[in-house]
């Protein structure tokens, strides 16, 4: 039927005089994850809402699972799951009731809906909170419940709109693992995020979106290569080690080390740098307090692609509150 499960060509959406999305093209291959990377207000959410049939595009067309989002929205809805800042659960119901509700709405029998809820609660580590009202959930639990709610119908295509924004690192890692597992089972995912790290971790392909347009696309590695080197940082455990660390790193990167407090950092142009540093530190008998390789951030990507920092376009953002 089609080589791509999500295809969009020239999608446009205007809100009043604001162009929220001005001609977005994208393609997602079956069983892969496309990461849509961009700052607040760049049009990510509006694009996802159009693809998920919640908004009608002003121009362009798109197909999800081979069905036209404009003329066959009901078929599209049978194939997709949606988790976003806006597509949310009923706070007054328990986690379990929320899942049963959606199962019933999807036409499952009472017992099937209960069984599916039990499965999902187990899969998303929510069994202990199953009988608590969703408003009592922590941020991480809430996102897991949102994600579980979008999976009741076992959709083959999943839209994840900033699934980890506002979560602490542990909850984020936890959610990443769950998303990985879904992809491993064959789910096709369109993910929006503000974090390059997240797109890098989860996505097979990335598009960078800015002011409603796609400004770059490629694999995470291609994109990072375009942006530039990673940064190596070593933090000394003791102050006495600092001079030796500076000397050692300066030698390896030919002089470009930067020192800030107890931390020494340098651009890591070659992948050999990290093991070389570890070997040299070990040989010198130095145990560092921290040793890390930091990738470029969304801000670095933006700076290199647009010459601007990644800041929110305040008026282009579509929040769940309509502008008035």
Q: Does 130 bind other proteins (CB under 8 A)?
A: no
Smaller CB distance to other proteins: residue 27 or 104? 104
Site size for other proteins (CB under 8 A):
57
Among 4, 77, 96, 116, binds other proteins (CB under 8 A): 77
Which listed residue (75, 250, 304, 306) binds other proteins by CB under 8 A?
75
At a CB cut-off of 8 Å and minimum separation 6, what does 114 contact? 100, 103
Which of 56, 279, 294, 308 contacts other proteins by CB under 8 A? 56
**Could you say whether residue 261 binds other proteins (CB under 8 A)?**
no
> Of 119-127, 148-156, 229-237, 254-262, which part binds other proteins (CB under 8 A)?
148-156
Give the residue from 221, 192, 226 showing the smallest Cα distance to 209. Answer: 192
Strand order in the sheet with 188-193: 80-83, 157-161, 188-193, 33-37, 205-210, 213-218
Asked if 164 touches other proteins (CB under 8 A), the answer is no
Longest dimension (CA), the chain: 70
Report the distance separating Cα 291 and Cα 280, nearest Å. 13
The phi and psi torsions of 248 (rounded to 5 degrees) equal -65, -45
Residue 101 is a binding residue for other proteins (CB under 8 A): yes
CA distance 62 to 69: 6
Nearer Cβ to other proteins, position 72 or 306? Answer: 72
Sheet containing 59-64: give its strands across: 18-28, 6-15, 59-64, 67-68
Of these, 133, 229, 274, 291, which contacts other proteins (CB under 8 A)?
Answer: 133
Q: Which residues bind other proteins (CB under 8 A)?
A: 1, 5, 15, 30-31, 49, 52-56, 65-67, 72, 74-75, 77-80, 82, 84-94, 97, 101-102, 104-107, 133, 149-150, 153-156, 185-187, 318-324
């Amino acid at each position: 039927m089609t080589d791509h499960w999500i295809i969009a060509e020239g999608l446009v959406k205007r809100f009043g005089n604001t162009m929220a999305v001005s001609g977005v093209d994208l393609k997602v291959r079956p069983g892969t994850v496309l990461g849509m990377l961009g700052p607040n207000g760049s049009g990510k959410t509006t694009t996802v809402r159009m693809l998920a049939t919640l908004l009608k595009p002003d121009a362009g067309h798109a197909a999800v699972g081979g069905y036209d989002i404009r003329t066959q929205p009901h078929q599209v809805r049978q194939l997709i799951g949606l988790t976003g800042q806006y597509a949310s659960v009923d706070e007054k119901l328990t986690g379990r009731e929320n899942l049963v509700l959606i199962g019933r709405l999807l036409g499952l029998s009472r017992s099937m809906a209960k069984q599916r809820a039990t499965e999902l609660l187990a899969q998303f580590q929510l069994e202990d909170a199953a009988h608590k009202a969703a408003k009592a959930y922590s941020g991480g639990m809430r996102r897991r419940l949102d994600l579980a709610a979008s999976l009741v119908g076992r959709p083959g295509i999943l839209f994840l709109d900033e699934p980890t924004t506002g979560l602490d690192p542990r909850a984020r890692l936890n959610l990443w693992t769950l998303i990985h597992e879904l992809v491993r089972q064959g789910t096709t995912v369109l993910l929006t995020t503000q974090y390059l790290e997240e797109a890098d971790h989860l996505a097979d392909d990335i598009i960078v979106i800015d002011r409603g347009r796609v400004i770059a696309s490629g694999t995470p590695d291609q994109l990072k290569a375009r942006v530039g080197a990673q940064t190596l940082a070593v933090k000394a455990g003791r102050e006495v080690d600092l001079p030796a660390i500076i000397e050692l790193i300066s030698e390896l990167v030919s002089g470009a080390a930067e020192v800030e407090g107890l931390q020494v950092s340098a651009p890591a142009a070659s992948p050999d740098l990290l093991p070389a540093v570890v070997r040299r530190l070990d040989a010198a008998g130095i145990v560092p307090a921290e040793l890390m390789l930091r990738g470029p951030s969304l801000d670095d990507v933006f700076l290199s692609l647009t010459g601007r920092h990644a800041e929110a376009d305040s008026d282009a953002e579509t929040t769940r509150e309509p502008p008035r």
